[in-house]
Amino acid sequence: MTMRTIAILMPGDMGHAVGRVLREHGYDVLCALEGRGEATRKLAAEAGLRDVGGIGEVVAGADMILSILPPAAALSQAQAVADAMLASGKRPVYVDCNAISPDTAKQVGEAITAAGAPFIDAGIIGLAPGKGGGTRFYVSGPDTAPIRALDGKGFQVIATGEGIGEASALKMVYAGLTKGTWTLQTAVLLAAQRLGVIDPLLEEFGLSQSGPLEAMRARVPFLPADSARWVGEMEEISATFASAGVTPGFHEGATEIFRLLARTPYAEETRATLDKSRTLEEALATYEDYVSSGA
């Protein structure tokens, strides 16, 4: 069966960009904006996605559904789609593209396959299409042909194996390094700030760690915009490491750093509204206030 109608649940920063490039490659791209906020509606409109209303309409009209949303909502979203499948008799291919643990991916897969639909496990690595660099969908499952047919349609699709959870595992360990590093850097800088040694530390970093320092200046002041949704991802990473018999402690700490950053005023920003003039020193001074107050 040719997959020509693809649904994006939900069209956030990554989802709307994926939908846009698919539409540019000739696909009819659906979304469900029922109950969604103004920011999501704006992104969907910018990408030219076709709003069909709710989950039931998506299931009725799509050949394939790409689930791209905060990880905490992955399982409930899958169950809602499975219920709609059972109610309508339509069973589009369901691809979970969320940052979830292998165990959560298996639970999502069980919900979808129990409704009689094909399931594909996927993990996205890289920036959203159109933002520079490559966007890679790592996929696994008994039959990944439907999603592999999208390779080159604005992103790369790479098969990792036949097991549900393999693609999610790859995403988890990858993000364990990237986001884990950002939170470790933030924790180190905050400790130095509170101990009164931030200035000599930054001077030393300039001498011996110039590359990491440049990366910290480019990244750490702007983490709050994504921190709230990354809390759930860190929890999934912690669970992944624990299931592998490796300490989850590093990423439990990362979870707490993201929770702290999500309490700061900068968390009200989006990637589109970031104050790019903010310096590392300014950001740390604000972050310290929230360590001290526990606000």
Q: What pLDDT is stored for residue 293 in this prediction?
A: 55
Q: At a CB cut-off of 8 Å and minimum separation 6, what does 126 contact?
A: 133, 134, 135, 136, 155
pTM of the model: 0.94
Same domain for 146 and 285, yes or no, is: no
| Conformational region of residue 77, where left means phi above 0, alpha means psi within -120 to 50, and beta covers everything else | alpha
CATH number, domain of 197, equals: 1.10.1040.10
If one counts the domains in the chain, the total is 2
Same domain for 14 and 71, yes or no, is: yes
Instruction: Dump pLDDT digits (tens) for 129-172.
Output: 988 779 999 999 999 999 999 999 999 999 999 999 999 999 99
Instruction: Dump pLDDT digits (tens) for 38-51.
Output: 989 999 999 999 99
Last residue of a domain, which of 162, 178, 200?
162
Same domain for 39 and 138, yes or no, is: yes
CATH number, domain of 119, equals: 3.40.50.720
Same domain for 125 and 218, yes or no, is: no
Q: What pLDDT is stored for residue 40 in this prediction?
A: 92
> Contact, 101 vs 172, CB < 8 A?
yes
Last residue of a domain, which of 121, 142, 162?
162
Spell out, as residue ranges, where the chain has pLDDT lower than 70.
1, 292-295
**Secondary structure in 3-state letters for the chain:** CCCCEEEEECCCHHHHHHHHHHHHCCCEEEECCCCCCHHHHHHHHHHCCEECCCHHHHHHHCCEEEECCCHHHHHHHHHHHHHHHHHHCCCCEEEECCCCCHHHHHHHHHHHHHCCCCEEEEEEECCCCCCCCCCEEEEECCCCHHHHCCCCCCCEEEEEECCCCHHHHHHHHHHHHHHHHHHHHHHHHHHHHHHCCHHHHHHHHHHHCHHHHHHHHHHHHHCHHHHHHHHHHHHHHHHHHHHCCCCCHHHHHHHHHHHHHHCCHHHHCCCCCCCCCCCHHHHHHHHHHHHHHCC
Last residue of a domain, which of 100, 130, 162?
162
Same domain for 180 and 269, yes or no, is: yes
> Contact, 240 vs 169, CB < 8 A?
yes
Distance CA 246, CA 211 (A): 29
Q: What pLDDT is stored for residue 272 in this prediction?
A: 84
By residue range, what is the domain housing residue 158? 5-162
Q: What pLDDT is stored for residue 295 in this prediction?
A: 44
